[in-house]
Structure 1
Amino acid sequence: MMTIDDDYVNKKHNETEQLALVDLTKLMNGLNMGTLSAFLYLIFVTHLFAINGGDAATPSQPPQQMLATGGFQSDRLQQAYKVIQAFKKKVTYDPKNITKTWVGKNICRDYKGFVCDIVPDLNKTTVAGVNFNGNRFNGPSLTLTELILGLRDLAFFHANSNNFTGTIPKNISQIRYLMELDLSNNNFSGRFPYEILHAKKLVFLDFRFNTFLGVVPPQVFLLQLDLLFINNNNFRQRISKYLGFTPALFLTLANNKFVGEIPRSIGRAANTLQEVLFLNNKLSGCMPYELGLLKKSTVLDVGFNNLTGPIPHSFQCLRKMELLNLARNRFYNEIPEAVCSLPGLTNFTASYNYFTQVGPQCRKLIKSGVLNVNRNCILGLPNQRSQADCARFFANLPTCRRAKSMHYVPCSNGNSGNQLETSDLETTPAPAPAPLGRSYGALTPH
């Protein structure tokens, strides 16, 4: 039987799912992440208003209860007041004068950056959300442990573009309703915050633009996230073979120091992954044919790496692909006509590679400006590499370990030339559980 707590979680989870699925592709087109976060926040607040009969900020309370809690609407808000006032003393730089509104006992009505709602199992008003995005708070010891652990009923905590430092609270899993955590563009450093692996209700996780380093634990790809942004840090490792276990719709690993091949398990995300950015890492080897299984993806960016080989024939199965970036790698051979014929393709960048041939359909895309093939080895086209440069490359041509898979077309109905051996199929088992928009908007810090 579903508990009242389950209702509360499901209510907010359904809201978050709606935000993630509300055609985020269109929503984030042309928006920076600060604008997006503000939009999500406004939608979230509107939802809270609806839950509480049109006024989430000032839910009514019986007079006797107000007296019993020292003039606060509930004992949860009475406790929140102490936590907020203690945090206020740590903020020594507040260019927007946000903290000046943190005065008095009516937190829900007056305090900028805090959102209230009713905790169902307690039937008490509480602080349900924090939005500090873009506030640029600073202070000599601006940590968030006391604040986030003190506000025990948080469903979301957004703090993009501030100067928080220190570490993620070890007991963050005690925040039983926490679904969204945005700590991007702050001053967090050190290893990946393993503590977050225990926050099992998260659907939105954003750590971009910090200085985390080392490795990303494979268990992060088991979290039931809709959005995972860890770009612009200093992660240096092979990408976990469990990458494809993530249910995320939007995945951004760009601007780190990931090495090695793209994991073949990426094909496991065929029914969920919509946008994935591997941009600007140190990835190598050939692209796995499993990328062609991403039938719901509209964005795939592997630009600025050391990848090589031909474009897998499976890419012709990416029927929803809109933006495909292969620029500045070491790809070669022809650009398949079937890829140039994808119905939704509006931006295809293949510049600074070693492609040698394009057919009539690809030439149409070049003429229309959809396809960029500058600095390749295609005879008869302008702005290509020198003959000597091309000759040097093909004299030591890289090869693919699984060359047969480059010809596999998983969406084909025929049986000729597209069958793989059993040894070519992905059989990675799931990792052990952890112990005890648009994605391009994530490439700007705000």
Structure 2
Amino acid sequence: MVLFKQLASLSTLLTLFFLHLLLVDSQILETPSPPPDPTSLVPNILNFIDQRLAQVFPIIQTFKNTITSDPRGVTSTWVGPNICNYTGFYCDNPPDNLTATTIASIDFNGFQLTAPTLDGFIDQLPDLALFHANSNKFSGIVSPKIAGLKFLYELDLSNNLFSGAFPTSVLNIPTLSFLDIRFNSFSGTLPPQIFMQTLDVLFLNDNNFMLTLPNNLGNAPVVYLTLANNKFTGPIPRSIGKASSTLIEVLLLNNLLTGCLPYEIGFLKNLTLFDVGGNLLTGPIPWSFGCLKKVEQLNLARNFLYGQVPEVVCALGNLANFSLSYNYFTKVGPLCKMLIQRGVLDVRKNCIFGLPDQRSVRECMAFFLIPKSCSHPALFNFVPCQIQHHWTKPQERTKSKRHLLSYSALSRNRVVL
């Protein structure tokens, strides 16, 4: 009897054991379900105020993980669903849905962030209208996908570590009106297509661009054009006169430009600033410059210009700073002498007999012993506008205190419009 009970207990244990094995085997053979996609769970985990913000959340977080230096700690605020409160991010209603909320602009100016690329970040923010990133340490390329940003009209990548050729991807952004890539290491030539864009502001200064300027330079409806501190060679394109209705400020200083000043510059009726100092330009000043009635700052210093300083230019009523120093001019008239006395006109280091601080006779003779000429010489003495003969009296002129936007672009800091 005892033996029977022991056998029954053993049979029960064996039955339970085999049942356990069957259960384990069924679990092993069953195909496990894949883990849930974390991005698909984001809207369920976090409470976003708009689906558009939920879509860009993982993009921002991915970019955050690529940042290798954040001295100001701005990325510490890039946490949670309140993206509109992230430092540097700004929300608004997109033009295609005024009831939606989305990331409309990004301002990283001065954050000093370091990241190897912006590719996969700004080009993935479909409603972005402004991106400002002055004074960071971003590098890499400007993604061709940026052309898909249908609302982007301001792009500022200035004072970063970008290099390589001109970022041609920006040429396909249909709404772009402000492009600032100054203080980087871009090099090579400028594509002519850049002057076919509907840009108001084009700041390309302080890079390594070289060779000649595109012949269609004047075709762009640009207002502020800054190409200073590069390595451009060749002449100033004569097409510059075509920009007469829009162009207000031009900075071409500190390049390697050669040839004579185009007569067509005189057509720029709205010009307030023209600076070609520190180039290799030669020839006389065209009398057409006397048509620049709004010009306030005119810098032709440190070139190889010569001849008489035109009185029609010295008669310009708004002229507050006229620099001709370190050239080879030989004569000034009474109106120009008045500007010299008032400190408006600087003619130091020229070849003007009777004035102080001029070049030596030997230096001037050596310069003029080499034959020089300009094409279309008859145009240099032609004035294509009506000149007022009751010229402004010197005492009625005041030095301009107006803010000249393009000169502020010569510093690394952000440009305030």
1:266 aligns with 2:237: no
2:320, 2:370 → 1: CA distance?
A: 34
Helix, strand or coil for the counterpart of 2:57?
helix
For normalisation by structure 2, the TM-score amounts to: 0.83
Cα deviation per residue 1:12-45 (whole Å; 9 max; x = unaligned)? xxxxxxxxxxxxxxxxxxxxxxxxxxxxxxxxxx
1:136 to 112, 116, 126: 112
1:119 partnered with 2:86: no
1:304-343 → structure 2 map (5 Å cutoff): 304-343=278-317
Once residues 96 and 246 of structure 2 are traced to their aligned partners in structure 1, the CA distance between those partners, rounded to angstroms, is: 33
**Paired residue secondary structure (1:331):** strand
Cross-structure match for 1:232: 206
Report matched runs for 1:233-312 at 5 Å: 233-312=207-286
SS in 2 for 1:303: coil
Which structure would you say has the larger Rg?
2
Distance of 2:45 and 2:241 partners within structure 1: 55
Q: Contact between 1:69 and 1:78, CA under 8 Å: does it hold in 2?
A: no
RMSD of aligned residue pairs (Cα, Å): 1.6
User: What is the distance in 1 between the residues matched to 2:214 and 2:367?
Assistant: 30
1:371 matched to 2:338: no
Q: Compute the displacement of 1:300 (Å).
A: 0.2
CA distance, structure 2, for counterparts of residue 390 and residue 162 of structure 1:
48
TM-score by length of 1: 0.78
Identity of aligned residues (%): 53
Letter in 1 for 2:62: A
Note the C-alpha offset of 1:360: 1.1
Deviations 1:325-356 (A, max 9, x none): 00000110111111011000000000000000
Q: Is the 8 A contact 1:291 1:314 kept in 2?
A: yes
Instruction: Tell me the amino acid that sits aligned with residue 112 of structure 2.
Output: R
Q: 1:89 aligns with which of 53, 65, 80?
A: 65
CA distance in 1, matches of 2:53, 2:251: 41
Q: CA separation in 2, counterparts of 1:391 and 1:261?
A: 26
Cα drift, residue 69 of structure 1? 8.6
Where do residues 176-195 of structure 1 align in structure 2 (5 Å cutoff)? 176-195=150-169
Which structure exhibits the higher relative contact order, with contacts defined as CA atoms closer than 8 Å and separated by 6 or more residues? Answer: 1
- 2:68 and 2:170 map into 1 onto residues whose CA distance is 28
Kindly tell me the number of residue pairs found equivalent between the two proteins.
Answer: 356
The alpha-carbon distance between structure 1 residues 373 and 207, as it changes in their structure 2 partners (threshold 3 A), is same
Question: In the TM superposition, what is the alpha-carbon distance from 1:412 to its structure 2 partner?
Answer: 3.4
Residues 123-157 of structure 1: CA distance to partner in whole angstroms, max 9, x if unpaired?
A: 32100000001111014xx2111110221110010
Contact 2:210 2:233 in 1 (8 A): yes
Structure 2 counterpart of 1:288, which letter? P
**Deviation sequence 1:404-426 (CA, Å, 0-9, x none):** 11112111389xxxxxxxxxxxx
Separation (CA, whole Å) in 2 of partners of 1:396 and 1:412: 36
CA deviation digits over 1:40-93, x for unaligned, max 9? xxxxxxxxxxxxxxxxxxxxxxxxxx9879410111101221111111111221
**Structure 1 residue 170 and structure 2 residue 144: aligned?**
yes
Q: Assess if the C-alpha contact under 8 Å between 1:356 and 1:379 holds in 2.
A: yes
| AA partner of residue 133 (structure 1) | N
- Quote the residue 2:47 is aligned against: 71
CA displacement at 1:120 relative to structure 2: 3.8
**Aligned mate of 2:356, from 351, 364, 382:** 382
Gaps of 5+ in 2: 1-41, 389-403
User: Matched residues in 1 for 2:277 and 2:334: separation?
Assistant: 25
Name the SS of the counterpart of 1:286 in structure 2: coil
- Alignment correspondent of 2:74: 98
Q: Which amino acid aligns with 1:157?
A: F
- In structure 1, what is the Cα distance between the partners aligned to 2:362 and 2:383? 34
Supply the distance in 2 between the matched residues of 1:238 and 1:148 (Cα, whole angstroms): 32
Q: For 2:63, what is the secondary structure of its paired residue?
A: helix
Equivalent position amino acid for 1:148 in 2: I
Q: Encode CA deviations 1:275-313: one digit per residue, 9 max, x unaligned.
A: 001100000110010001110000000100000000000
